[in-house]
Structure 1
Amino acid sequence: MKKRVKKIVGWGLFTLVVMAVSSIFVADHLLPPASGRPSTALPLADDATALDRELVPLLAERPGRTGAILLPDGIDAYAARAISARQAGRSLDLQYYIWHDDLTGRMLANEAWKAAERGVRVRILLDDIGIGDMDETLLAMDSHENIELRVYNPFRNRAGLLRLLEMVQRAWGVNHRMHNKAWIADGRVAVVGGRNIGVEYFSAAEEFNFHDLDIVLFGPAVADTSAIFDDFWNSEAAIPIAALNRKPPATIREVLARIHDESSSDEARRFLDAMDVSPSVRRYFSRELTPVWTEGVRVLSDPPIKVRGEGRENWLVDHLLDEITSARTAALLISPYFVPGQQSAEDLVALAGRGVHVSVVTNSLAANDVVAVHGGYARYRKALLEGGVRLFETRSQAEAQAASSVFGSSGASLHTKAVLIDGSRGFVGSFNLDPRSANLNTEMGVLFDDPALGAELLAEYLHLVGPDMSYWVYLDAEGSLRWLDRAASPPIALSREPDSTRRQRATAQVVRWLPIESQL
Structure 2
Amino acid sequence: MSIALSVLYFLSLLTIPHLLFRKKHPSATLAWLWGILLFPFLGALLYLAIGTDRLKRKRLHRRASFTSSRPHRKNTDWANPSLSPGDAALVSQIARLNQIPVTQVDDTRLLPDADKFYDALLIRIAEARHHIHIQFYIWRKDATGDIFIKALVAAAQRGVKVRVLLDEVGCFFVPASYFKPIVDSGGEFSWFLTISPRRQRYLLNLRNHRKLQVIDGAIAFVGGMNIGREYQGLDPSVGGWRDMQIELTGPAACVLQESFADDWYFATKRHIEDECYYPKSFQAGPFTTLVVAGGPDSIHSPVQKSLLAMLNHTQKRIWLTSGYFVPNSVTLTAMQLCAARGVDVRLLISGKSDHPILLHIGRSYYEELLESGVRLFEYNAAIHHCKAGVIDDDWLLVGSANLDNRSMHLNFELNVLIHMPERTAELAAILKKDYDSAVEIKLDKFRNRPLRQKWIEAIVRPFGPVL
The residue aligned with 1:184 is 214
Does structure 2 conserve the Cα–Cα contact (< 8 Å) formed by 1:153 and 1:239? no
* 1:510 Cα deviation from its structure 2 partner: 2.8
Give 2:260's aligned amino acid: F
106 and 471 in structure 1: CA distance in 2 versus 1, 3 angstrom threshold:
same
* 1:372 Cα deviation from its structure 2 partner: 2.2
The residue aligned with 2:252 is 221
Q: Quick one: distance in 1 between partners of 2:333 and 2:189?
A: 43
Does structure 2 conserve the Cα–Cα contact (< 8 Å) formed by 1:65 and 1:220? yes
Please give the per-residue CA displacement for 1:282-330, whole angstroms capped at 9, x wherever unaligned.
xxxxxxxxxxx8422233322xxx43535x27x2332222112211111
* Paired residue secondary structure (1:101): coil
The residue aligned with 1:456 is 426
The residue aligned with 2:463 is 516
- 1:473 corresponds to which of 430, 441, 452: 441
Does structure 2 conserve the Cα–Cα contact (< 8 Å) formed by 1:125 and 1:238? no
The residue aligned with 1:340 is 327
* Paired residue secondary structure (2:213): strand
Give 1:226's aligned amino acid: Q
Please give the per-residue CA displacement for 1:136-178, whole angstroms capped at 9, x wherever unaligned.
43451453252111211343379xxxxxxx9xx94xx221111
Alignment of structure 1 residues 195-206 onto 2, 5 Å:
195-206=225-236
* 1:17 Cα deviation from its structure 2 partner: 4.6
The residue aligned with 1:295 is 287
* 1:112 Cα deviation from its structure 2 partner: 0.7
Does structure 1 conserve the Cα–Cα contact (< 8 Å) formed by 2:223 and 2:399? yes
* Paired residue secondary structure (2:118): helix
Alignment of structure 1 residues 135-214 onto 2, 5 Å:
135-138=175-178, 140-141=180-181, 143-144=183-184, 146-156=186-196, 170=202, 173-207=203-237, 208-214=239-245
Please give the per-residue CA displacement for 1:392-422, whole angstroms capped at 9, x wherever unaligned.
001155xxxxxxxxxxxxxxx1100012111
Structure 1, unaligned runs of 5 or more: 44-62, 159-165, 241-292, 398-412, 483-494
The residue aligned with 1:427 is 397
* Paired residue secondary structure (1:89): coil
Q: Quick one: distance in 2 between partners of 1:386 and 1:458?
A: 25
Does structure 2 conserve the Cα–Cα contact (< 8 Å) formed by 1:95 and 1:180? yes
Alignment of structure 1 residues 47-58 onto 2, 5 Å:
none
* Paired residue secondary structure (1:131): coil
- 1:320 partnered with 2:290: no
- Superposed structure 1 runs of 4+ greater than 4 Å apart: 17-30, 38-41, 237-240, 504-509
465 and 148 in structure 1: CA distance in 2 versus 1, 3 angstrom threshold:
same
TM-score by length of 1: 0.66
The residue aligned with 2:124 is 84
> Could you say what the CA RMSD is over the residues aligned between the two structures, in angstroms?
3.4
Please give the per-residue CA displacement for 1:171-229, whole angstroms capped at 9, x wherever unaligned.
xx221111111111222221111101111223443451310011011111111111211
* 1:508 Cα deviation from its structure 2 partner: 4.9
Q: Quick one: distance in 2 between partners of 1:95 and 1:117?
A: 20
Q: Quick one: distance in 2 between partners of 1:117 and 1:480?
A: 58
* 1:475 Cα deviation from its structure 2 partner: 1.7
Please give the per-residue CA displacement for 1:13-65, whole angstroms capped at 9, x wherever unaligned.
245456786775999999xxx9xxx9999x9xxxxxxxxxxxxxxxxxxx975
- 1:352 partnered with 2:345: no
The residue aligned with 2:409 is 439
Q: Quick one: distance in 1 between partners of 2:459 and 2:465?
A: 16
* Paired residue secondary structure (1:98): coil
Does structure 2 conserve the Cα–Cα contact (< 8 Å) formed by 1:154 and 1:239? no
Q: Quick one: distance in 1 between partners of 2:124 and 2:400?
A: 21
* 1:12 Cα deviation from its structure 2 partner: 3.6
138 and 518 in structure 1: CA distance in 2 versus 1, 3 angstrom threshold:
farther
Q: Quick one: distance in 2 between partners of 1:347 and 1:301?
A: 21
Give 1:127's aligned amino acid: D
Does structure 2 conserve the Cα–Cα contact (< 8 Å) formed by 1:77 and 1:214? yes
The residue aligned with 2:9 is 13
152 and 90 in structure 1: CA distance in 2 versus 1, 3 angstrom threshold:
same
* Paired residue secondary structure (1:174): coil
Q: Quick one: distance in 2 between partners of 1:143 and 1:73?
A: 29
* Paired residue secondary structure (1:351): helix
The residue aligned with 1:162 is none
Give 2:292's aligned amino acid: L
* 1:507 Cα deviation from its structure 2 partner: 5.4
- 1:69 partnered with 2:109: yes
Tell me the matched-pair count: 382
Does structure 1 conserve the Cα–Cα contact (< 8 Å) formed by 2:224 and 2:385? yes
Q: Quick one: distance in 1 between partners of 2:319 and 2:137?
A: 26
Q: Quick one: distance in 1 between partners of 2:240 and 2:297?
A: 36
Does structure 2 conserve the Cα–Cα contact (< 8 Å) formed by 1:371 and 1:507? no
Does structure 2 conserve the Cα–Cα contact (< 8 Å) formed by 1:80 and 1:191? no
The residue aligned with 2:378 is 393
176 and 475 in structure 1: CA distance in 2 versus 1, 3 angstrom threshold:
same
- 2:171 corresponds to which of 131, 146, 153: 131
Q: Quick one: distance in 2 between partners of 1:26 and 1:321?
A: 26
